[in-house]
Structure 1
Amino acid sequence: MKKGILLLIVATLLWAGNYICGRFLAPALPATLLNTIRWAISTLILWGLLAFNKKNLPILSKWKEFLVLGFLGVFAFSTLNYLGLKSISASQAGMISAGIPIIILLFTPFLLKENIKTKGWIGAIVSIIGVIILVQGKQSNSSDASIIGEIEILLSCVAWALYTVLGKKYGRQMDPLTMTAGAAFYGTLFSAISCIGTVQPYMIHMTNSAWLAIIYVSTLASVVAYFAWNAGVKNLGAGRAAPFINLLPVWTVVLGILLLQEQVSGMTLFGGIIAIFGAILASL
Structure 2
Amino acid sequence: MKKGIILLIIANILWGGNYICGRFLGPALPPNLLNTIRWAISTVILFGILLLNKKKIPIFAMWKEFLILGFFGIFGFSTLNYMGLRLISASQAGMISAGTPVAILMFSFLLLKEHISFKSWLGTFISLAGVIILFLGKQGSGVASGSWIGGLETILAGWAWALYTVFGRKFGKNTDPLIMTAGAAFYGTLFSALSCIGTVRLDMIHMTGSAWLAVAYVSTLASVGAFYAWNLGVKILGASKAAPYLNLIPVCTVILGIFLLKEVISGISLLGGIITILGAILATQRSSSTSATVQAENSVNHVCSSSGVAE
TM-score (norm 1): 0.81
**Contact 2:98–2:277, Cα closer than 8 Å, also in 1:** no
Residues paired across the two proteins, number: 279
Which of residues 275, 279, 285 is equivalent to 1:282?
285
Q: Distance in 2 between matches of 1:114 and 1:143?
A: 42
The residue that corresponds to 1:216 in the other structure is 217
Structure 1 spans left out of the alignment, 5+ residues: none
Q: Distance in 2 between matches of 1:146 and 1:132?
A: 13
- In structure 2, the CA distance between the partners of 1:270 and 1:97, relative to structure 1 (3 Å rule), is closer
C-alpha displacement of 1:15: 2.2
**Contact 1:176–1:230, Cα closer than 8 Å, also in 2:** no
The residue that corresponds to 2:73 in the other structure is 73
Q: SS at the partner of 1:87?
A: coil
The residue that corresponds to 1:151 in the other structure is 152
Q: What is the correspondence of 1:84-123 to structure 2 with a 5 Å cutoff?
A: 84-117=84-117
Q: Distance in 1 between matches of 2:63 and 2:130?
A: 40
The residue that corresponds to 1:14 in the other structure is 14
C-alpha displacement of 1:195: 0.7
Deviations 1:71-127 (A, max 9, x none): 000001111111111111111211221221221111112323333455655666676
Q: Distance in 1 between matches of 2:266 and 2:89?
A: 18
- Specify which structure has the higher proportion of helix: 1
C-alpha displacement of 1:142: 6.2
Q: SS at the partner of 1:212?
A: helix
- In structure 2, the CA distance between the partners of 1:81 and 1:162, relative to structure 1 (3 Å rule), is same
C-alpha displacement of 1:157: 1.2
* CA root-mean-square deviation: 3.7
**Contact 2:89–2:263, Cα closer than 8 Å, also in 1:** no
**Contact 2:99–2:276, Cα closer than 8 Å, also in 1:** no
- In structure 2, the CA distance between the partners of 1:139 and 1:246, relative to structure 1 (3 Å rule), is farther
Structure 2 spans left out of the alignment, 5+ residues: 290-311
C-alpha displacement of 1:162: 0.6
For residue 148 of structure 1, what is the amino acid of its counterpart?
I
- In structure 2, the CA distance between the partners of 1:259 and 1:114, relative to structure 1 (3 Å rule), is same
Q: Distance in 2 between matches of 1:163 and 1:229?
A: 18
Q: Distance in 1 between matches of 2:140 and 2:13?
A: 21
